[in-house]
Chain A
């Protein structure tokens, strides 16, 4: 499976767990809210039931007051009660909704109250009549005495209050049940929450551990491979998973393989070139040496048989042979540049030039060396560059006050060396040409000038990421400027 898919899947699992947890918490909140609503409603039910109870008792008290005193004020209270109670009753029915036992209790209360109303209305009617006509007082008293007893026997008040307390008790029971259910669901939600939190932590940590293990170990092995490659060991990484890292390690393996085979190829080519160089120096120079020997033998052994012209012509041959051998050596030297590894060492350039000058620059030349640095570099290559430039300067400076100057300017990352002479100089049109192979501005038979020296210098300088140029005009000497890295 792809790594990206695995990571996405991991996140998906974590998010799902979190969603379930959130849902559980949300439903608990809903339950709490519902319970709060229920409690508000329940308060109203209890309040209304006590108001109702009080109103009924108040009505009974008002009846008693009126019957005892005949005062019409009591009747007003009674009438208020008789209008308020049905409204309260209706309100309470609406509040309790669909609780059958409470409904039946309310029904019972209503029935008892209605029974009582029936009696009270009748007796109030009789009382009013007796007030209007005192002759009827006796008749009323009889009724009152009779009814009062019945009234007491029926005990309306106690029965209604009993029903009300049943009603309230029932309400409190419901409340208690709900409270217990809520507490249970809070507890349940809490344990759910804890469980899901742990699950989330375990799943998250597990996923992280799995992915890190899966990725980091393989990245480590790839880093190791890269280090190996940089040190020249072309190893391989093993990876049988099938994801993005697998293709990365396959690419690395392929790269390692290719590098390895390229380097083998290079080494093979290098060996071939070394072989070629050997063949060139051995097999090309052997016949030249042979010719040279034959000429020498003729000159030594057969000198009496030679005419002056023959002697003159024979003299030309060794010179040309020497030149050809030098050309072969020069070609070999040119071919070897950049292939060999040379040790880096501390080079005091002033000392280097002094040593070279003793071999190359004749005593009658005036040599000035200025501002030479000490640097850490491949001594052999720098010596080759200065050696070729100095012998070049000597070769083309033949006037009586021959002067050669070597100087240096330090830059941030490199040195700029200059070798200048006051010799015959080089015309501008040749400035590029002189660095090419076999370009020499002299006559062919003149001295030992193979035309490879400056090509070698240019190749060495450029291999060292430097540049070389010449400043000169005919008759005004030449100044060769080249750069050399500090490290």
Chain B
């Protein structure tokens, strides 16, 4: 069955990284991207031009530092929304600050992943960026449902 993934991320580079990783994993999927919280909510709830998202995503991959509405704000709104509060959210960020982790975990997330800054360009190694994204996405998708 096709997995629907909503990626909320402002960095084009990270979006491409996820796209490449999903391609390499080879699981049937649909990737929807939003550049910030506002856009993600708009897509989930729909607007005057577009109906709400249906079916809802199997998982939301969420960045923390974003313009307009950051990860924390998005999560708070999501958890207040009766139709959306059950959605599975996994945080993917470069922020290693303990504060960010505790705040997001209070808002209810299924995972908190810190992307490596390591300078290795080899997607076989999980401490390189591509390797990390591949490794975790494979795991996340395998554990859906």
A interface vs B, CB < 8 Å?
A: 281-282, 285-286, 288-290, 292-294, 296-297, 301, 318, 321-322, 325
Partner of B130 from the list A281, A285, A293, A322 (CB cut-off 8 Å) is A293
**Further contacts, 9 of them, CB under 8 A, given A290-B11, A290-B13, A296-B130:** A282-B117, A286-B117, A289-B117, A289-B119, A289-B129, A293-B121, A301-B20, A318-B121, A322-B119
The minimal Cβ–Cβ distance linking A98 to chain B, given in whole angstroms, is 115
Indicate if the CB atoms of B117 and A292 lie closer than 8 Å.
no
Chain A residues with CB under 8 A of B130: 293, 296
Closest 3 CB pairs of A and B: A290-B13, A296-B121, A325-B119
Residues of A near B11 (CB, < 8 A) are 290
Determine whether the beta carbon of A294 is less than 8 Å from that of B121: no
Select from chain B the residue with minimum beta-carbon distance to A287: B13
Q: Residue B17 at the A interface, CB < 8 A?
A: yes
Q: B94 an interface residue at 8 Å Cβ cutoff?
A: yes
Contact assessment for B13 and A294 in the assembled complex, using a CB-CB cutoff below 8 Å: yes
Residues of B contacting A293 with CB < 8 Å? 13, 17, 121, 129-130
Complex-state Cα separation, A27 to B20, whole angstroms: 121
Q: Which residue numbers of B lie inside 8 Å of A, CB to CB?
A: 11, 13, 16-17, 20, 94, 117, 119, 121, 129-130
How far, in angstroms, from A325 to B117 measured CA to CA in the complex? 11
Contact pick for A286, options B16, B17, B94, B121, CB 8 Å:
B94
> Nearest A residue to B122 by beta-carbon distance?
A296
Query: Smallest CB–CB gap between B24 and chain A, Å?
Result: 10
Residues of A within 8 A of B17 (CB): 293
A213: min CB distance to chain B, Å: 55
Q: Tell me the minimal C-beta distance from A186 to chain B in angstroms.
A: 95
Complex Cα distance A286/B11, Å?
Answer: 11
Contact A288 B119, beta carbon cutoff 8 Å: yes
Q: How far is the CA of A325 from the CA of B121 in the complex (A)?
A: 13
Interface centre among B121, B129, B130 (most CB of A within 10 A): B121
Distance in angstroms from A323 CB to nearest chain B CB is 11
B117:A285 contact, CB within 8 angstroms: yes
Report how far A285 CA is from B94 CA in the complex, Å. Answer: 12
A114 to chain B, nearest CB (A): 137
Residue of B13, B20, B117 near A281 (CB, 8 A) is B117
Sample 20 A-B pairs with CB under 8 A, ordered by A number.
Answer: A281-B117, A282-B94, A282-B117, A285-B117, A285-B119, A286-B94, A286-B117, A288-B119, A289-B117, A289-B119, A290-B11, A293-B121, A293-B129, A293-B130, A294-B13, A296-B121, A297-B16, A301-B20, A318-B121, A325-B119
| Cβ contacts under 8 Å, A286 to chain B | 94, 117
Q: Report Cα–Cα, A297/B20, bound state, in Å.
A: 9
Q: Are B121 and A292 in contact (CB under 8 A)?
A: yes
**A296: which B residues are within 8 A, CB to CB?**
121, 130
| In the bound complex, CA of A289 to CA of B129 (Å) | 9
Assembled-state Cα–Cα distance A403/B137 (Å): 50
Complex interface: chain B residues within 8 A of A301 (CB)? 20
With A and B bound together, what is the CA distance between A294 and B94 in angstroms? Answer: 18
Please indicate the chain A residues that have their CB under 8 angstroms from the CB of B117 in the complex: 281-282, 285-286, 289
Q: Judge whether A292 and B119 touch: CB under 8 Å.
A: yes
CB distance from B75 to the nearest CB of A (A): 23
A322 to B11, CA, bound (A): 22
For A281, give the chain B residue with the smallest CB separation: B117
Chain B residues with Cβ below 8 Å from A285 are 117, 119
B74 to chain A, nearest CB (A): 22
Cα distance, A124 to B13, chains bound together (Å): 171
- Docked CA distance A292–B123 (Å): 13
Which A residues touch B129, using CB under 8 A? 289, 293
Residues of A within 8 A of B20 (CB): 297, 301
Complex alpha-carbon distance, A293 and B11, angstroms:
13
Complex CA–CA separation, A288 to B13 (angstroms):
12
Which residues of A lie under 8 Å from residue B94 when comparing CB positions?
A: 282, 286
A45 to B94, CA, bound (A): 128
Question: Hey, which chain B residues are within 8 Å of A294, CB to CB?
Answer: 13
Q: Who on chain B is nearest to A322 by CB? A: B119
Measured in the bound complex, the distance between the Cα atoms of B13 and A177 in whole Å is: 129
| Complex CA–CA separation, A376 to B14 (angstroms) | 49
Shortest B52–chain A CB gap in Å is 34
